[in-house]
């Protein structure tokens, strides 16, 4: 039984300090993310080393387009999430209690390098509800030269995020809206917290950002423009992935994001950002990388495979421009 790192006592209750939800737990109560339980005056990380899935995936699937392209990585996930997205595509693992299995530190070290894997991706659910295990696992993996990448909603307090990031080689943070009212109504969250996490991560590790285009909620010219301007403020060279919305879970009344909206976002972002991608679409060319300097095609992608024919090391082979990419 591992004691949580982030909590304080308030009378007979324990208050979790991991994320802005600040769950108040009486004895025996469980947190909203399913990861913590108040037991006999201590907050216990009941999700420590417990996973709902473990599979090998291409890094491009996470999505990471600028981090070790054409690599395979072991992908694992805890049960639960601290956001309650009405459209969650993995709700059977995030919004419901699911069967878990133990993957202890020795096991993760052993399997992180199998099947040509470069390390471990903490993904599918929310890895930052798992900080005790994350720090222990990532430290061990870094010690043997393996990589640690996170796919996160970014909804976390600053201290836990800063404690984890030194051991993280790359992170993709998902922005689900630019407006707090959308986060509050459909996710029980706050946009400002997520944007602050992006600002912090951008200074600490390799960062890629995903923006979800929800018809009628996040896909207006203003919403997309606000997101683009925010990314310019942080760093215009951060790779940005625009993600298609699919009707799912509790939000089946909103249609799938049309191609026209995806293309609109791509064109708007292309005016100000260096690396823009559309995912979950079959539109030709929108998952390719173009040199932001000479505009030549340098990486062609198809089915999670990247043709690096336009690269010479980490530079554009045509003009020599340094590309924000890790090999």
Residue 183 has pLDDT above 90, yes or no: yes
Residue 257 has pLDDT above 90, yes or no: yes
Q: What's the pLDDT score for residue 66?
A: 98
**Which band of pLDDT confidence, cut at 50, 70 and 90, is reported for residue 298?**
very high
Beta partners for residue 77, in sequence order: 53
**Stretch (H or E) spanning 42:** strand 42-45
Q: What's the pLDDT score for residue 120?
A: 98
Residue 279 has pLDDT above 90, yes or no: yes
Percent of the chain clearing pLDDT 70 (strictly above): 100
Q: What's the pLDDT score for residue 256?
A: 98
d(CA 62, CA 142) in angstroms, rounded, equals 20
With beta carbons less than 8 A apart as the criterion, state whether 216 and 254 touch: yes
CATH 3.10.129.10 fits 50-281, yes or no: no
Q: What is the mean pLDDT of residues 254-277?
A: 98
Q: What's the pLDDT score for residue 1?
A: 87
Residue 192 has pLDDT above 90, yes or no: yes
Q: What's the pLDDT score for residue 194?
A: 98
- The structural domains of the chain, with segments of one domain joined by +, span 7-45, 50-281, 288-327
Classify residue 66 by burial, with Cβ atoms within 10 Å: 0-12, 13-18, 19+: buried
Percent of the chain clearing pLDDT 90 (strictly above): 99
pTM over 0.95: yes
Residues 6+ apart with CB under 8 A from 70: 58, 60, 305, 306, 308
Q: What is the mean pLDDT of residues 137-165?
A: 98
With residues binned 3-state (H G I as helix, E B as strand, rest as coil), the percentages for the chain, rounded to 5, are: 25, 30, 45
Q: Are strands 170-175 and 147-152 parallel, antiparallel or unpaired?
A: parallel
Residue 162 has pLDDT above 90, yes or no: yes
82-123 pLDDT, tens digit per residue, is: 999 999 999 999 999 999 999 999 999 999 999 999 999 999
Q: What is the mean pLDDT of residues 57-86?
A: 98
Q: What's the pLDDT score for residue 175?
A: 98
Full 3-state SS string of 110-163:
HHCCHHHEEEEEECCCCHHHCHHHHHHHHHHHHHCCCEEEEEECCCCCHHHHHH
Mean pLDDT of the chain: 97
């Amino acid at each position: 039984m591992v004691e949580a790192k982030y909590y304080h006592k308030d009378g007979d209750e324990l208050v979790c300090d991991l994320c802005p939800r600040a769950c108040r737990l009486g004895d025996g109560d469980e947190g909203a993310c399913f990861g913590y339980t108040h037991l006999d005056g201590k907050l216990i990380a009941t999700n420590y080393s417990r996973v709902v899935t473990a599979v090998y995936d291409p890094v491009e699937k996470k999505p990471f387009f600028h981090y070790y392209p054409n690599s395979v990585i072991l992908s694992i996930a805890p049960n639960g999430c601290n956001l309650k997205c009405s459209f969650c595509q993995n709700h059977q693992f995030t919004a419901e209690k699911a069967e878990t299995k133990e993957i202890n530190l020795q096991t993760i070290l052993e399997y992180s390098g199998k099947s040509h894997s470069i390390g471990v991706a903490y993904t599918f659910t929310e890895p930052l509800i798992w900080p005790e295990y994350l720090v222990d696992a990532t430290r061990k993996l870094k010690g043997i030269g393996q990589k640690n990448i996170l796919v996160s909603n970014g909804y976390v307090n600053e201290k836990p995020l800063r404690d984890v990031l030194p051991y993280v080689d790359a992170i993709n943070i998902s922005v689900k809206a630019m407006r707090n009212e959308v986060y509050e109504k459909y996710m029980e969250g706050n946009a400002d917290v997520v944007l602050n996490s992006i600002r912090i991560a951008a200074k600490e590790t390799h960062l890629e950002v995903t923006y979800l285009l929800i018809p009628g909620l996040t896909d207006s010219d203003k919403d997309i423009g606000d997101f683009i301007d925010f990314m310019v403020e942080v760093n215009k060279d951060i790779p940005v992935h625009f993600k298609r919305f699919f009707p799912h879970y509790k939000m089946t009344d909103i249609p799938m994001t049309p191609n026209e909206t995806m293309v609109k976002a791509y064109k708007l972002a292309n005016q100000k950002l260096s690396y823009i991608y559309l995912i979950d679409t079959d539109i030709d060319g929108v998952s390719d990388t173009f040199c932001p300097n000479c505009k030549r095609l340098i990486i062609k992608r198809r089915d999670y495979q990247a043709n690096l024919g336009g690269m010479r090391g980490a530079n554009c082979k045509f003009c020599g421009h340094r590309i924000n990419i890790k090999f």
